[in-house]
Amino acid sequence: MTRRKRLLNMPKDWDLLHTLQDQQKADHMRRRLEAIKYLWEGRQMGQVCTIVDCNIKTLRTWVDLYLEGGFTKLLTPIRRPKQQKLDAEQKQKLRMILLNDHPTKYGYKEPNWTEPLVESLLEDHFNISLKKSRVYEILGELRVKNKKRSSYFAEIKGGY
């Protein structure tokens, strides 16, 4: 049985739906409730996506949440895992790599470290994905430029 059919077969508490809509301050939570309301009214999922301005995957997630635990589960904030951070030990390891090793040692073709290479190194060897701006911040924190290789980070902006 499809999500929509399962949803339509469940008992509908219209009073509770309207009460919860009135109580919700967060727009994204009201949109979840509106989506359920429109589906209860018999609208197709594509129509509901257009009305509440969400994609079909998001709507399916909302319906699944409602089917699993009713309004309580639907209105529980969806927690996404926090982006990983480099700990102090990893930062020091990265610093040593950048100061002492060439990118070719890690399978890169370029002779000098650049921000995209450092970003790739973080993903490949530390399993950490960071935004470009955060990579620059880390490079600044590490003060990776040394006298032997004054042009080592020539391609990296910010004067490293």
Identify the pLDDT of residue 81.
66
Statement to judge: residues 52 and 124 lie in one domain = no
Q: What is the pLDDT of residues 55-92, one digit of tens each?
A: 999 999 999 999 999 999 999 987 776 656 888 899 89
- Of the candidates 103, 105, 118, 107, the one whose C-alpha atom is nearest the C-alpha of residue 160 is 118
Statement to judge: residues 160 and 85 lie in one domain = yes
- Final residue in a domain of this structure, among 18, 50, 74: 74
- Helical H segments across 25-126, by residue range: 27-40, 45-52, 56-74, 88-100, 115-126
Statement to judge: residues 139 and 101 lie in one domain = yes
- Of the candidates 108, 103, 132, the one whose C-alpha atom is nearest the C-alpha of residue 119 is 132
Residue stretches of the chain with pLDDT short of 50: 146-152, 154-160
Domain span including residue 86: 81-160
Statement to judge: residues 106 and 157 lie in one domain = yes
Identify the pLDDT of residue 131.
84
Identify the pLDDT of residue 118.
92
Statement to judge: residues 60 and 89 lie in one domain = no
- Final residue in a domain of this structure, among 74, 91, 114: 74
Statement to judge: residues 61 and 28 lie in one domain = yes
Statement to judge: residues 21 and 51 lie in one domain = yes
Identify the pLDDT of residue 152.
40
Statement to judge: residues 114 and 70 lie in one domain = no
Statement to judge: residues 98 and 63 lie in one domain = no
Statement to judge: residues 61 and 94 lie in one domain = no
Helix 27-40 and helix 14-23: axis angle, to 10°? 160
Number of C-alpha atoms within 13 angstroms, CB side, residue 43? 16
Statement to judge: residues 129 and 59 lie in one domain = no
Number of domains in the chain: 2
Whole-angstrom CA distances from 49 to 4, 28, 96, 145, 150 are: 13, 13, 50, 51, 55
- Final residue in a domain of this structure, among 23, 44, 74: 74
pTM of the entire structure?
Answer: 0.52
